[in-house]
Structure 1
């Protein structure tokens, strides 16, 4: 039996002049393969917007043909350059669902995320590739922070990790086949988010939104992007969400 895959996307510009998030969905004609990609561009300029838009399209089109991992690596070629050359870059997630089997391959680089809804609970299927995540895994019990214009400060690993959560350890321009995780899941609702969405929504709020709207991917994508909060400093990041709903 061939399943039905419904996709929905939503995005909201943050407080900066440009929305550097972009997403793309591609259905490979004649097959049951549907790929969704989300790229969060690093920086905020028209060039970064163009980069993220094109990279998302490349990742989705290659992903539908060759799988999520190769979709990421194909988009990464757009940011490939000698280390001495500054080029546009971004973080990315790709999900490719096979309508024949109901299996979804997922791959990512950086701190955009992929969630799965099991029918009863929301599970984060990706792992953030950030310095904060690295510190939680390898940092011991305490860490000393060296920050410009501030005295050195020794804090708990968790407090230090929260400071470093905004620093990506990997992006498209720095990823390789050895650094891009590839997993297979069978969740019936797959959710891709930029960090401006999941990073500015309380986990309990996100779970409640998915509980309320998991049967309506359009409402869910809109609700997640609308829920992103402005920080105490008045800053709000671009927020983007892609939902794949698998039914049948």
Structure 2
């Protein structure tokens, strides 16, 4: 069976540093993708996110997503001599022949695209989402959506959530800058534009263009703020989801 295809793109927001990072890693048996969203904005946070993404991708390829996120947690909990103690949230996906296994902590997300519908598979670990699920008014809950309840630095086994996405779906991993800046229906419309799964040689095409298109679509909010936006598109070998060639708009 051919190897899964993956593409990543990231875009700095309106703050000085891009605190997001993405990484893919392929072995002879599997392909892994991860997105890390650093908490705060500094050179140290940005460097930490890049380091964490590399660690998560490599560990997940051999030991799975849970072990990878907990390894990243151990790395963050090591005391820093300079007093810097970065933190982050993350999502990781491991593509198997029959399923894509996703693990996450915080509000980084995973979506699945079956060629017809974009489905969000993860639940944000935020105070806002907790309030929403307990019947709080929508506007009150929305005010707390940026307050994450779990992060990598505090990660334990029970705090790392997991879900399985069918192997015939293309997977999107995103930092919160994507859903904050791109409404769900618009994100789905972008996926519909990339609707041919392979070229005449049977190779996946267009994933890098799709990834770039998604982060380019992220807009500023009413205050002029735009968060860092990062996406990895992971297309397992069994995926039927079209998402691949850009069509001219009419």
TM-score range relative to shorter protein: 0.7 to 0.9
Query: Which of 86, 91, 94 is the aligned partner of 1:93?
Result: 91
| Unaligned runs of at least 5 residues, structure 1 | 142-156
Check whether the contact 2:3–2:30 (CA below 8 A) recurs between aligned residues. no
**RMSD of aligned alpha carbons:** 1.6
TM-score normalised per structure 1: 0.86
| Unaligned runs of at least 5 residues, structure 2 | 198-205, 239-250
Check whether the contact 2:3–2:31 (CA below 8 A) recurs between aligned residues. no
| Counterpart position of 2:11 | 12
Aligned-pair distance for 1:174? 1.4
1:231 pairs with 2:221: yes
In structure 2, what is the Cα distance between the partners aligned to 1:180 and 1:166? 18
Say which SS state the counterpart of residue 61 (structure 2) adopts. helix
Say which SS state the counterpart of residue 159 (structure 1) adopts. helix
Q: Deviations over 1:179-209 (max 9, x none)?
A: 1112222143110001111111111101101
| Counterpart position of 1:158 | 138
Mapping of residues 177-216 of structure 1, within 5 Å:
177-186=157-166, 187-213=168-194, 215=197, 216=206
| Counterpart position of 2:123 | 127
| Counterpart position of 1:222 | 212
Check whether the contact 1:22–1:40 (CA below 8 A) recurs between aligned residues. yes
Number of aligned positions between the proteins: 225
| Counterpart position of 1:21 | 20
TM-score normalised per structure 2: 0.86
Aligned-pair distance for 1:246? 2.1
| Counterpart position of 1:154 | none
Q: Deviations over 1:134-163 (max 9, x none)?
A: 10122x45xxxxxxxxxxxxxxx2111110
